Structure 1
């Protein structure tokens, strides 16, 4: 079993991502994310996607820099390149999945990628989306956070209703609260202690740690 799988997708990437890539046991490049890896001297264990975001020369670089390449037809496919990579990662039963390059200018792709966290949660695999300003995870039970460089912590329901939300160690605590989709009650909380705990009775809750 791989301890930590890192997926690089085709959204916003930069030098901030390099430490996460260096600290992994299995590396996946999805479409243009594979190009980012190749250009920065990494050798992904697998590169996959339709590669419609890269030139022929860039695709040649990806092929030469990857241990394995899986192409798919850009029209006759049911999943985004990122979901293909995520499904592959889940099939390996890893200890953790970190998804980089999953946010950016395409809000539709960003939201779809956030929804992928539900598949990992249902499998019992810890997973997170990380970009330059945010760390996004999902819980349906209990999650403990520590001070890790992020100033704000926001809670948003991914299901229609999340019940039994109890926060300890936060500036604005909650006890057995309910969040319905469309409410902003959980936006911009902060830790009041070194660690904080989020408890959920029912439903799926997005936990977004962020900096301006």
Structure 2
């Protein structure tokens, strides 16, 4: 897996807005095919001048009658899953392979933790990358190259653990260490080279890359 500053914002097929905190500067990513949103994000999206192609949810925070006629409505009343989880399933079932998410974090933090759980559950089915005012974050594959983010902050957060981690091109490299949420995590490192390489043998690793212009 490679993430290049010049191209990573043009890789998503779907741009998805959910009901967290939207970034102050929210340019749409390039070359996307669709804009989707959950019902809780719909009104905020319109205020930002963005008309979604599809809105989905249980419509407890938005009436179906409030949705513009050109927007497709998919009602998902199942209370055993979050609106983010349900719309991810829709995107996967439609055959898309990548999604960029705005509004995954911020506001109510229990929602943020639930969103991370949904990302983890579907990380092998679709590439999910979330954007906020501070950069972007995602669950890493077992080998990843991050290109042209020199001097940016990178954090490695085990979810709940990741084993046998090697990292190069960072200020504090790892050499086969394990990270665990209960013992040691890898936050606030710095990318020192043009290419930062990270690989690990097992577990789940959530990567945060600080990039104020994403």
Q: Give the TM-score normalised by the residue count of structure 1.
A: 0.84
Which residue in the other structure is 2:15 paired with? 6
The separation in 1 between residues aligned to 2:144 and 2:181, in whole angstroms, is 20
Measured after TM superposition, the shift of residue 112 of structure 1 is: 1.1
Aligned to 1:93: 95
Residue 186 (structure 1) aligns with: 186
**Which structure: greater strand fraction?**
2
Q: Could you tell me how far apart the structure 2 residues matched to 1:13 and 1:150 are?
A: 25
Structure 2 counterpart of 1:64:
68
Structure 1: gaps (5+ residues): none
Give 1:8 deviation, angstroms.
0.2
Kept in 2, the 8 Å contact 1:114–1:129? The answer is no
Q: Secondary structure at the match of 1:112?
A: helix
Question: For residue 138 of structure 1, what is the aligned residue in structure 2?
Answer: 139
Higher helix residue share:
1
After superposition, the Cα gap between the structure-2 partners of 1:17 and 1:122, relative to the gap in structure 1 and judged at 3 Å, is same
| Whole-angstrom distance in 2 between the partners of 1:173 and 1:3 | 30
Do the aligned partners of 2:148 and 2:194 also contact (CA within 8 Å) in 1? yes
Q: Partner of 1:51 in structure 2? A: 59
1:136–1:66 distance in 2 versus 1, CA, 3 Å: farther
Q: 2:168 is matched with which residue?
A: 168
Instruction: State the partner residue of 1:39.
Output: 47
Q: 8 Å contact 1:140–1:201 — kept in the other structure? A: no
Name the count of aligned residue pairs: 202
| Aligned partners of 2:85 and 2:118 also within 8 Å | yes
Q: Is the 8 A contact 2:136 2:211 kept in 1?
A: no
**1:155 lines up with 2:135 in the alignment:** no
RMSD: 2.4
User: Following TM superposition, where does structure 1 have runs of at least 4 consecutive aligned residues deviating by more than 6 angstroms?
Assistant: none
Aligned match of 1:112 in 101, 114, 122?
Answer: 114
2:32 aligned partner: 24
